[in-house]
A and B are shown apart, each in its own frame.
Chain A
Amino acid sequence: MTTACPPAPDRWAARIAAGLDRPETRWRAAAIAAALLVVAAAKHGYSHASAGQLALFLSPTAHLVSLVSGADFVAEAGAGWVSRELGFIIAPGCAGVNFALAAFLALTLGWLGAMRTGRDVAARLAAAAALAYAATLVVNTARIAIAIALHRGAVDLGGLTPGDVHRIEGVVVYLGGLCALYRLAGASGPRSGREERERDDRSERNDRHARAA
């Protein structure tokens, strides 16, 4: 007698259906949907926002940059925050909203495992938003301070234009900051670097023994 194995799509559908029956899976799906909705809506709004509408990001960033760089930034209606002595402007595009949205999304996805009830989801989403905002101010201040230093030194990097240098610096600082935030927030899982190393060393030893045998 042979036992018929259900075709793979049926099995997957059954597994998904079984997963959706569990309340924590439904809460996690709701958290992902909420995070994606927030990101899509904020991204759409950000593309049309003025400096005044982005004051929540621009004003504290400009103050922190003034503190770090020693330059004096003043608000100019419509333009953003300007330093006449440096010839540098913190425009709406420099608000760091993209970083904030990426950080919010990454933290939400990283913390999914801890979201089991509606209260967990609400608390984690609020924490992700607060942490993303705080991290944005820190990382964006670092990015603009580095950009000012590059602008002061007028660094010559081969055939790259100052715009390209600014863009590369932005990508590296934002992505580096995002990875650091994700790691520091414990969103990458409970396993520490030492545990990972020990696990790798163990499996390397086992491989060596197996080869020797």
Chain B
Amino acid sequence: MRGLLERAARRAGRLRWMVVPVAAYLAVTALLPLLNGAGARSGFARHIAWVAGGCAAVTAFVFLAQLASDAAASARTQARAMRSSRHERADQPGGRA
């Protein structure tokens, strides 16, 4: 369980690059309007909720895409290793293909 958590934390650490685009997006769509006094406008809280939800959804999507890509890459590596070990056995004298 701890190993799984550590792996998930390490994978999540690879999303660090997203901090800059997400922060830039939040600065333009939430922080600057807030500083310009948009906070008093009705509907601004709803807008912030959608922006925050969208950020969470996109981050989750990128995380899952990264997991899927890792799984595909590790499956490819395993298949390649199995193929090469089969070839090695076949190349040995008396070996079967």
* B57 and A196 within 8 A (CB): no
* B17 and A188 within 8 A (CB): yes
Mark B1-44 against chain A: 1 for CB-CB distance below 8 A, else 0: 00100110011001001101110110111001000100000000
Mark B41-76 against chain A: 1 for CB-CB distance below 8 A, else 0: 000000100110111011001100010011001100
Which chain A residues border B36 with CB–CB below 8 Å? Answer: 43-44, 47
CA of A196 to CA of B28 in the docked complex: distance in angstroms?
A: 30
Mark A124-152 against chain B: 1 for CB-CB distance below 8 A, else 0: 00000000000000000000000000000
* B69 and A183 within 8 A (CB): no
The 20 sampled A-B contact pairs (Cβ below 8 Å) are A98-B28, A98-B29, A102-B21, A102-B25, A102-B27, A102-B29, A105-B28, A168-B53, A172-B58, A174-B25, A175-B22, A175-B55, A175-B58, A181-B21, A182-B17, A187-B20, A188-B17, A194-B73, A200-B10, A200-B14
Chain A residues within CB distance 8 Å of chain B: 39-40, 43-44, 47, 98, 101-103, 105-106, 109-110, 164, 167-168, 171-172, 174-176, 178-179, 181-183, 187-189, 193-194, 196-197, 200-201, 203-204, 207
* B21 and A182 within 8 A (CB): yes
* B32 and A168 within 8 A (CB): no
Which of B3, B24, B66, B70 lies in contact with A178, CB distance below 8 A? B24
* A40 and B53 within 8 A (CB): no
Nearest residue (CB) in A for B11 is: A200
* B7 and A204 within 8 A (CB): yes
A45 to chain B, nearest CB (A): 12
* A39 and B28 within 8 A (CB): yes
B21 to chain A, nearest CB (A): 4
Which of A40, A103, A176, A187 lies in contact with B32, CB distance below 8 A? A40
A41 to chain B, nearest CB (A): 11
Number of B residues near A (Cβ < 8 Å) is 33
Additional A-B contact list (14), CB under 8 Å, known A167-B47, A176-B61, A204-B7: A39-B27, A43-B32, A102-B24, A168-B53, A171-B51, A175-B21, A175-B25, A175-B58, A176-B58, A182-B21, A187-B20, A189-B17, A196-B14, A200-B10
Interface residue SS majority, chain A: helix
Which of A178, A179, A201, A203 has the most chain B CB atoms inside 10 A of its CB? A179
* A106 and B24 within 8 A (CB): yes
A169 to chain B, nearest CB (A): 9
Nearest residue (CB) in A for B25 is: A102
B40 to chain A, nearest CB (A): 15
Which chain B residues border A183 with CB–CB below 8 Å? Answer: 17
Knowing A171-B54, A175-B54, the reply to whether A102 touches B17 (Cβ < 8 A) is no
CA of A106 to CA of B28 in the docked complex: distance in angstroms?
A: 11
* B27 and A105 within 8 A (CB): yes
* B11 and A109 within 8 A (CB): no
Which chain A residues border B73 with CB–CB below 8 Å? Answer: 194, 197
